[in-house]
Amino acid sequence: MTLLVVGASGFLGTELCRQAVAAGERVVGTYHSAAVAVPGVEARRLDVTDRSAVRALVTAVRPDAVVATPYRYADWVVTADGAAHIAVAAAEVGARLVHLSSDALHAGRGTPYLDDEPPSPVFLYGAAKAAAETAVRAIDPAAVLVRTSLIVGEGSKQIQLCRDALAGRATLFTDELRCPVDVVDVAAAVLELVPSDYAGPLNVAGPDAVSRAELGLLVARREGIDPAGMKTTTSAASGLLRPTEVRLDSARAAGLLRTRLRGVRELLAP
C-alpha cells in the first residue's frame, strides 16, 4: 500500500510515518517548512493552501490512502481550505481519506460528546476545524473524521507547556477539561482505520477527563517536580473565549479498534 501522510513533519505525522514504515508500507510524507525526520519516508514539500499543488502531488503519488493531519492554529486557509483541497485531490484518485479533526469544534458542556454530534464552535480554530469537517464530508462521504483531544507523549507541546507552567514560564487553565491521548495510540488507531470501511466522525481520545492544570500536576508527579510554583488561571479570568469542559466519549472507537486508548493517568504514572 502507498500511504500519503500530509503533515508528516508534525508531532502526530511523524509517529504515523514511523508506524507505517515499520509495518512495511510505502510512505510519502509532506512537509511545509520543517523536514520529515523518519527514515524510509519519501518526503515532498507541499503548501496545502495551493489547490493545484495539492492535486499535482496526489496525482503523481496516486496513494491508496491519504491521512490528512495539517493545521495551523488560527489560520483558516491552512486548516479549513487546506482540508478541502486534500479531500478533492484524494477523491479524484480514489484514495481512502482519514481526516484528523479536533475536540476544539465543540463549545463545551458538562456531559460528554458522542461521535455524531454536530460541531458547535465558539472560537476561530474550532470554527476552522468544523468547516474542514463539513467540506470533507461533502466531498467524500466515505472519509473518516477522527476527532481527537490533547495529544501527549515525549516531544508533545502539551507536556512542554506543563513543564513551562511548573517553572513559572506559562499558565495552565483549571477549568478547561480535555481527554488527553498518547500520540502512539492515536497513530495506531488512524492506521487501523485506513483499511476499514468506517465513515464519518469517530472520537479517538483517552478515557480520563482532566483539566490542563491537573495535567500539569500529573507531569510534576511523574518527573519529581515540586508543583508549588505552577501558575494557573481560568478561561474567564484570562478574557479568552475558549471551550471549557470538552469530554469526548470514545466508547465506539474502543469497541471498533484493536488499539487500546490509554488514559493520561496511566500514561503519566510515576
Kindly report the CATH number assigned to the domain that includes residue 79: 3.40.50.720
CA gap 246, 114 in Å, rounded: 11
- Residue 196: the pLDDT is 98
Residue identified by cell 470501511 is 197
- Residue 73: the pLDDT is 75
The verdict on residue 258 lying in a domain is no
CA gap 39, 216 in Å, rounded: 33
CA gap 208, 211 in Å, rounded: 10
Q: Helix (H, G, I), strand (E, B), or coil: what is residue 174?
A: coil
Percentage of the chain beyond pLDDT 90 is 93
The verdict on residue 127 lying in a domain is yes
Q: Using one digit for the tens of pLDDT, what is the confidence trace for 191-218?
A: 999 999 999 999 999 999 999 999 999 9
The verdict on residue 248 lying in a domain is no
The verdict on residue 169 lying in a domain is no
For residue 143, is pLDDT > 80?
yes
Sequence-ordered strand ranges (E) for 37-191: 42-45, 65-68, 96-102, 144-148, 151-152, 172-173, 177-178, 181-182
The verdict on residue 11 lying in a domain is yes
Sequence-ordered strand ranges (E) for the chain: 2-6, 26-31, 42-45, 65-68, 96-102, 144-148, 151-152, 172-173, 177-178, 181-182, 200-203, 210-211, 232-233
Compute the Cα dihedral for 246, 162, 263, 69 and give only its sign.
positive
For residue 147, is pLDDT > 90?
yes
- Residue 74: the pLDDT is 76
Number of domains the chain contains: 1
For residue 91, is pLDDT > 80?
yes
For residue 179, is pLDDT > 90?
yes
User: In the numeric block, which cell numbers belong to residue 126?
Assistant: 474550532
**Which region among 12-21, 131-140, 227-236 has the lowest average model confidence (pLDDT)?**
227-236
- Residue 201: the pLDDT is 98
- Residue 235: the pLDDT is 86
Q: Which amino acid is at 204?
A: V
Percentage of the chain beyond pLDDT 70 is 100
pLDDT band of residue 238 (cuts 50, 70, 90) is confident
DSSP string, 194-250: TTS---EEEE---S--EEHHHHHHHHHHHHT--GGG--EE-HHHHT-----B--B--
Q: Using one digit for the tens of pLDDT, what is the confidence trace for 15-50?
A: 999 999 999 999 999 999 889 999 999 999 999 999
The verdict on residue 264 lying in a domain is no
Instruction: Give the residue numbers spanning the domain of 76.
Output: 2-149+182-205
Q: Using one digit for the tens of pLDDT, what is the confidence trace for 151-160?
A: 999 899 999 9
- Residue 148: the pLDDT is 98
CA gap 164, 166 in Å, rounded: 5
The verdict on residue 114 lying in a domain is yes
The verdict on residue 60 lying in a domain is yes
DSSP secondary-structure letter at 113? B
- The mean per-residue pLDDT over the stretch 118-132 comes to 96
